[in-house]
Amino acid sequence: MIQVAIVSGKGGTGKTTLSAALNLLFEDNVIADCDVDAPNLHLIFQPIKQRSYDYYGGKKAVIDYSKCTSCGVCEKFCRFDAVRRDGDKIVIDPFACEGCGVCVLKCPFEAVKLVESKAGEYYESLASVAQRPMVHAKLKAGEETSGGLVAEVRKTALKFEESGKQLVIIDGAPGIGCPATSSIVGVSYVVIVTEPTVSGLHDLQRIVETVRHYRRNFGVVINKSTINPEKRDEILRYAEKEGIVILGEIPFDPTVNTATINGKSILEYPESPAARSIVRIYEKLKEILKI
């Protein structure tokens, strides 16, 4: 299956706008929202859940107070500052616990154990707006294992190959850490969205390095390209020097904001400059992917 991931070094560059539109333009694809920390595609696609799965990210330490003597050995060995003394009681901070089990190993009274903890859910749905399968997720606030949940979403999306789907469009996680890299490992093509600002260029360089680290083919879209012509030129020069493909530019267009406020894709405003440029980007992508 062809997998295309849309990413940005940072949130807010217009990644969701572009990926929602591309998801609509490609006809027979599976929609995968891998921005599990702050998923937004469902606001546009209005998915109807058909199946939910629990996601267990990892374990957490739990103290059995009938055995605990508050000796504090666990506190000494925990490297994540997850064990604290609260008065004469030893408590575990579930937000800090990484579930490594060192406290379990060291407790002289066998008072600590690791228990599975539910970190979120993921869903197989039918997008009621685009009438195609959609896989998305919700991570519980404060959980760390979002990279694992991203992997589950992607795996679930691949299952649709059996029903004849050939393409998955992934709305990737922002950043360059574990959820972001989890969104790009093994994909066929990466679309990086950037914007012409001082920070946009800085973030672009970091994500380009990251994508190269994972040896993926990629191209860049400059969003809101008209807000700062100088920075835009700087991005183009950087791209040329580095031999980076520019897939297209989307001019700054207030219609995008109107569409967002109304929870609609920009494609519902087909005459808008932003929608027109996204269609051109889509055509270029089709050429590159040979589909």
Binding residues (CB under 8 A) for another protein: these are: 9-13, 16, 37-38, 40, 43, 58-59, 77, 79-81, 95-96, 98-102, 105-106, 114, 139, 141-144, 146-147, 174-181, 195-200, 202-203, 206, 209-210, 213, 227-228, 230-231, 257-258, 260-261, 263
Encoding tokens for residue 192?
Answer: 């990086």
**Min CB(153)–another protein separation in Å:** 15
Smallest distance from another protein to CB 53, Å: 19
C-beta of 200 vs 248, nearer to another protein: 200
Nearer to another protein by Cβ, of 152 and 195: the residue is: 195
Nearer to another protein, 165 or 232 (CB): 232
Q: How far is the CB of 40 from another protein (least distance, A)?
A: 5
Instruction: Give the integer Cα–Cα distance in Å for 255 and 145.
Output: 36
**Which residues, listed in sequence order, are joined to residue 220 by a DSSP beta bridge?**
192, 246
How far apart CA 272 and CA 255 sit, in angstroms, is 7
Is the Cβ of residue 47 or residue 99 nearer to another protein in the bound state? 99
Residues 6+ apart with CB under 8 A from 128: 45, 46, 47, 48
Alpha-helical (H) ranges within 41-135 are: 41-45, 73-77, 102-106
Question: Least separation, in Å, of the C-beta of 232 and another protein?
Answer: 10
Question: Residues near 93 by Cβ (< 8 Å), separated by ≥ 6?
Answer: 81, 82, 83, 84
